[in-house]
Amino acid sequence: MERETQFIGQSAAFQDAVERASQAATLDRPVLVIGERGTGKELIAERLHRLSARWDKPYIIMNCAALPETLIEAELFGHEAGAFTGATRSRAGRFEEADGGTLFLDELATMSMGAQERLLRAIEYGEITRVGASRPIRVDVRIVAATNENLPALADQNRFRADLLDRLSFEVITLPPLRAREGDIEVLATYFGQRMAAVLGWEEWPGFGPRALAAMEGHDWPGNVRELRNVIERAIYRWADPTRPVDALTFDPFASPWQPAARNAAATAADAPSPAPEPTAATPAPGPISDLRAAVDAYERRILSDTMARCRFNQKVAAEALGLSYDQIRHALKKHGLN
């Protein structure tokens, strides 16, 4: 599917971050973009370039985590022939490729201290030196960097250069996680759902059922928008009847009774007796039952308690997740003393 470049969302927290990016784009200064994985740091970086005076110049992306430490400097600054084993010819680095434009450094916190020192010099003086060369090359590059780490904390631990952090943090744009974007989950889910339905050739978009909507609102979305897109597209293509609202979501695609055990866990299990499985909300406790009504009540109470916790104690969301009316769940919570 094509690269996603649109900003979808109506929450104040998200719109504020986009607006800050728009304002910072016009200034030829470094910008740090901070956020959890899947929050859209790459889109903000591209926006900073497209709305700047450098929009028609090169926009070069480098993922600092994708390269071993020994190659990062050669990728950034280029190298001369014979500078190291395998360097059979001279090669320009990302700084030279981005000359006049913008260089986006993703996963900045993974950069080695040596590369950080050379990056600081390049930003400070506008000069880079290829690995194996002695003469500097002048470059005109705007730096936009992104990370999901707490850079001030890393600087306090001497794991990130404080002087480089000072140089890069002219503006810091921190993107809100999806769970903090009030009202955006359903908006984004509908957008991704409609697109996937069109890909599959559905004649019309049936929308989502109440159980799916409640599950979306109750989920924590650690992978943010990227995770939401995967969950929604997976649900659409697995849904058998395109005339009915989509009402089943799978958050963990690896969940399976036949999933292989982790290697270290399997080794530990071979040396230790298997513990008895703990009862869950879906499985009543084993053993003889002397009082059926009490056992049923305890099971119902556990389901209510677990669902409320999963839905962040939102009674409306929990009611939809359990297929109950609002009055029914209030009565059930009162009955079991869960108010």
**Could you tell me if residue 124 is inside a domain?**
yes
Mean pLDDT across the stretch 88-98? 89
% of the chain residues with pLDDT over 70: 90
* Span 105-156, pLDDT tens digits: 999 999 989 889 989 999 999 998 888 888 889 999 999 999 999 999 999 9
Strands 102-106 and 31-34 turn out to be unpaired
226 and 148 within one domain? no
Chain centroid to CA 164: 25
CA 168 → CA 6, 108, 164, 174, 244, distances in Å?
26, 11, 6, 14, 51
Place of tokens 């903000």: 44
170 and 122 within one domain? yes
Report d(CA 133, CA 131) in Å as an integer: 6
Mean pLDDT across the stretch 81-103? 86
**Could you tell me if residue 266 is inside a domain?**
no
- Tell me which of 152, 176, 200 is where a domain ends: 176
189 and 53 within one domain? no
Q: How many domains does the chain have?
A: 2
- Asked if residue 281 has pLDDT above 70, the reply is no
pLDDT at residue 262, as a whole number: 73
Report d(CA 282, CA 285) in Å as an integer: 10
- DSSP summary character for residue 251: S
Mean pLDDT across the stretch 274-290? 50
% of the chain residues with pLDDT over 90: 59
Longest dimension (CA), the chain: 87
pLDDT at residue 288, as a whole number: 58
What does 89-111 look like in DSSP terms, one character per residue? S-B--HHHHTTTSEEEEESGGGS
- Please state which of the ranges 1-5, 7-11, 52-56, 213-217 shows the lowest mean pLDDT: 1-5
**Could you tell me if residue 113 is inside a domain?**
yes
Please report, in angstroms and rounded to a whole number, the separation of the first and last CA atoms in the chain: 47
**Could you tell me if residue 257 is inside a domain?**
no
213 and 148 within one domain? no
**Could you tell me if residue 110 is inside a domain?**
yes
Report d(CA 331, CA 310) in Å as an integer: 19
Mean pLDDT across the stretch 204-231? 95
pLDDT at residue 195, as a whole number: 96
Which CATH number fits the domain that encloses residue 183?
1.10.8.60
42 and 107 within one domain? yes
Which CATH number fits the domain that encloses residue 139?
3.40.50.300
pLDDT at residue 204, as a whole number: 94
- Asked if residue 279 has pLDDT above 50, the reply is no
pLDDT band at 264 (very low <50, low <70, confident <90, very high): low
pLDDT at residue 287, as a whole number: 54
CB atoms within 10 A of CB 13: 15
Structural domain for 227, as ranges = 179-238
pLDDT band at 267 (very low <50, low <70, confident <90, very high): low
pLDDT band at 198 (very low <50, low <70, confident <90, very high): very high
- Asked if residue 55 has pLDDT above 70, the reply is yes
* Span 222-260, pLDDT tens digits: 999 999 999 999 999 999 999 999 999 999 999 888 888
pLDDT at residue 4, as a whole number: 54
**Could you tell me if residue 190 is inside a domain?**
yes
Shortest CA distance to 236 belongs to which of 224, 246, 251? 246
* Span 146-195, pLDDT tens digits: 999 999 999 999 999 999 999 999 999 999 999 999 999 999 999 999 99
* Span 31-46, pLDDT tens digits: 999 999 999 999 999 9
84 and 38 within one domain? yes
191 and 53 within one domain? no
